[in-house]
Amino acid sequence: MERLTAGFFERHSVVDCARALIGAKFLWNGCEGRIVETEAYAAEGDEACHTFFRQGARAFVASHPAGTAYVYLNYGVHWLFNVLVHGPQGSGFVLLRALEPLAGIERMMERRGKSKVHELCSGPGKLTRALGIDGDAHGTPFLDGESTGMVTGVSASVVSSFRIGISRAQDLPWRFHEDANIHVSR
């Protein structure tokens, strides 16, 4: 296994990155989990992407390198963690939707107030709360961090489906998850 670098998020399209991250490990300050669910968002022409309606998101894409954390507060309640992609077919974001917890589980349980492991990171807001991720992570080059990053991994079977939890561009099959994994959000 090797650490993912910004180069990974430059070589592949946002959709290919979202699919390829299934099975990779996400490391965050003493906590670790296998990525079991992601969604892709294209910076150009995707009505569900922040860049479609937020000038600040377009400026973020233009001014940050691939592999940067794009973290935002969703509906004023949940922080959501995305990775910026600058691939050969354009830029976009990969949303981390769910993790299978591997390390730091007791800390995750404390943060979430849950005792069942499969409930800790089975959704994008649950994931950030369990790992202690908030707006301070926005704009960070987390891949190069001492205690943060991503490591390559393997997934048995990846399934694609339509994106969920959005009201626009729901018809794109850009949600990827590990088949039959109990840690997936839905």
User: CB neighbours (10 Å) of residue 97?
Assistant: 29
Which are the contacts of 109, defined by CB distance < 8 A and separation ≥ 6? Answer: 115, 120
Say yes or no to pLDDT of 39 above 70.
Answer: yes
Say yes or no to pLDDT of 111 above 60.
Answer: yes
Which are the contacts of 77, defined by CB distance < 8 A and separation ≥ 6? Answer: 125
Domains and CATH numbers, the chain: 8-178 (3.10.300.10)
- Residues 51-63 as b/e (b if ≥16 CB within 10 A, e otherwise) read bbeeeebbebbee
What average pLDDT is seen over the chain? 90
pLDDT (average), residues 20-45: 94
Q: Which residue did the predictor score with more confidence, 114 or 49?
A: 114
Please state, in angstroms and rounded to a whole number, the distance separating the CA atoms of residues 80 and 153.
Answer: 22
Q: Is 114 helix (H, G, I), strand (E, B) or coil?
A: coil
Q: What are the pLDDT digits (tens) for 58-82?
A: 899 899 999 999 999 887 889 999 9
Confidence of residue 35 (pLDDT cuts 50, 70, 90): very high
Structure letter (DSSP) for residue 3: B
pTM of the model: 0.93
